[in-house]
């Protein structure tokens, strides 16, 4: 059994293995490699007897050169089972300060920054991941609804990464929190991210996320 390199995350999708090198913001998809290798211990370790595969993974910097035991691995968030729904919207003024601070976070830690910087920033400011049994509070749902109402007016919206970064920042500055989940799919290959509290996704639909497998949970 080999440990993935510290900056690498991996996941098995059917017969394929997908790795993300956070430092280089690069994905590697090994089609059919699941036939000779398995991801174990929270998918932070790879178990294989295929020497050629080990050499290739080592040369690519995806695994540690030495074999390791079976340590406890970082927890991955389970795929969501429900979507957040709120009939109430927090007064927009009540989230304006949190939104202003989220814009400041984006200016300092998003725009022009590497993916590795985003991951490090999220890890630094987090006290602990929300429990898998946690549920969004009524206040959480109201904040999310207010954010959804304001989002069309926010400039430079970008892709899902920017939206989830901003919403997570708004929640954190409102004394709440959520797990930031990065997932992948294959055929076609695509990466995506979303926010989750327990089994509830906050900013996407279950239908859309059904094809994705969590790869990183921050």
pLDDT at 43 over 80: no
> Is residue 97 located within the same domain as residue 189?
yes
In a domain, 194, yes or no: yes
Q: Is the pLDDT of residue 95 over 70?
A: yes
What pLDDT, on the 0 to 100 scale, is given for residue 109? 93
Q: How confident is the model at residue 92 (pLDDT cuts 50, 70, 90)?
A: low
Q: 151 or 206: which carries more pLDDT confidence?
A: 206
10 occurs within a structural domain: yes
Domain that holds residue 52: 2-67
Q: Are residues 37 and 104 in the same domain?
A: no
Of the residues 67, 91, 117, the one at which a domain ends: 67
On whether both 90 and 37 belong to a single domain, the answer is no
Q: For the stretch 187-209, what's the b/e string if a residue is b when 16 or more beta carbons lie within 10 angstroms of its beta carbon?
A: eeeebbbbbbbbebbbbbeeeeb
Q: Are residues 47 and 114 in the same domain?
A: no
Same domain membership, residue 93 and residue 190: yes
Residues 63 and 99 in one domain: no
As a whole number, the mean pLDDT across the chain is: 84
- What is the rounded distance in angstroms from the CA atom of residue 35 to the CA atom of residue 137? 43
In a domain, 77, yes or no: no
123 in the same domain as 60: no
Note whether residue 74 is domain-resident: no
Q: How confident is the model at residue 196 (pLDDT cuts 50, 70, 90)?
A: very high
Q: Please give the structure tokens belonging to residue 32.
A: 């059919």
pLDDT digits (tens, 9 = 90+) for 108-118: 999 899 999 99
Distance, CA of 29 to CA of 18 (rounded, Å):
4
Whether residue 73 is contained in a domain is answered as: no
State the DSSP H helix or E strand holding residue 12, giving kind and residue range, or none if neither.
strand 8-13
Is 210 found in the same domain as 138?
Answer: yes
Please check whether residues 93 and 59 belong to one and the same domain.
Answer: no
Cα 9 to Cα 86: distance, rounded to the nearest angstrom: 34
Of the residues 67, 91, 118, the one at which a domain ends = 67
Q: Which of 32, 67, 102 is the last residue of a domain?
A: 67
The confidence score (pLDDT) of residue 202 equals 92
Residues 153, 123 within the same domain = yes
Contact 135, 195 (CB under 8 A): no
The predicted structure's pLDDT at residue 22: 92
pTM of the predicted protein model: 0.87
H/E element holding 9? strand 8-13
Q: What percent of the chain has pLDDT over 90?
A: 33
Residue 75 resides in a domain: no
What's the alpha-carbon Rg for the chain, to the nearest Å?
18
Q: C-alpha angle 63/67/70, rounded to 5°?
A: 100
Candidate from 55-69, 82-96, 193-207 with smallest mean pLDDT: 82-96
Let me know: does 199 contact 132? Beta carbons within 8 Å: yes
The residue-averaged pLDDT of 4-20 equals 89
> Which residues contact residue 53 at a Cβ distance below 8 angstroms, ignoring those fewer than 6 apart?
30, 33, 36, 37
| Structure confidence by residue, pLDDT tens digits, 120-169 | 898 887 666 667 778 888 889 888 888 888 877 766 656 789 899 999 99
Is 61 part of any domain?
A: yes
Within this chain, do residues 46 and 116 fall inside the same structural domain, yes or no?
no
Token pair 């993300």 is found at 20
User: 16-30 pLDDT, tens per residue?
Assistant: 999 999 999 999 999
Cα 83 off chain centre by: 17
Number of domains in the chain: 2
CA distance 79 to 88: 26
Contacts with 79 (C-beta within 8 Å, 6 or more apart), sequence order: 209, 210, 212, 213, 214
Q: Which pLDDT value is given to residue 107?
A: 92
Q: Is the same domain home to 43 and 105?
A: no
């Amino acid at each position: 059994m080999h440990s993935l390199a510290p900056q690498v995350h991996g996941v098995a999708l059917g017969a394929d293995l997908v790795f993300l090198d956070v430092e280089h913001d690069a994905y590697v998809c090994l089609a059919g490699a699941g036939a000779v290798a398995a991801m174990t211990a929270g998918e932070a370790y790879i178990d294989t007897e295929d020497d050629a595969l080990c050499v290739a993974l080592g040369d690519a910097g995806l695994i540690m050169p030495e074999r390791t035991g079976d340590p406890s691995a970082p927890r991955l968030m389970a795929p969501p089972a429900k979507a957040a729904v709120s009939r109430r919207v927090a007064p927009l003024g009540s989230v304006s300060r949190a939104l202003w601070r989220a814009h400041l976070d984006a200016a300092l830690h998003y725009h022009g920054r590497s993916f590795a910087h985003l991951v490090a920033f999220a890890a630094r400011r987090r006290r602990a991941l929300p429990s898998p049994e946690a549920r969004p509070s009524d206040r959480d749902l109201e904040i999310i609804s207010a954010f959804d109402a304001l989002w069309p007016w926010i400039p430079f919206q970008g892709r899902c990464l920017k939206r989830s970064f901003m919403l997570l920042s708004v929640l954190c500055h409102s004394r709440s929190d959520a797990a930031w989940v990065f997932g992948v799919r294959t055929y076609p290959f695509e990466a995506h991210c979303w926010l989750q509290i327990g089994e509830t996704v906050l900013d996407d639909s279950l239908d859309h996320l059904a094809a994705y497998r969590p790869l990183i949970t921050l």
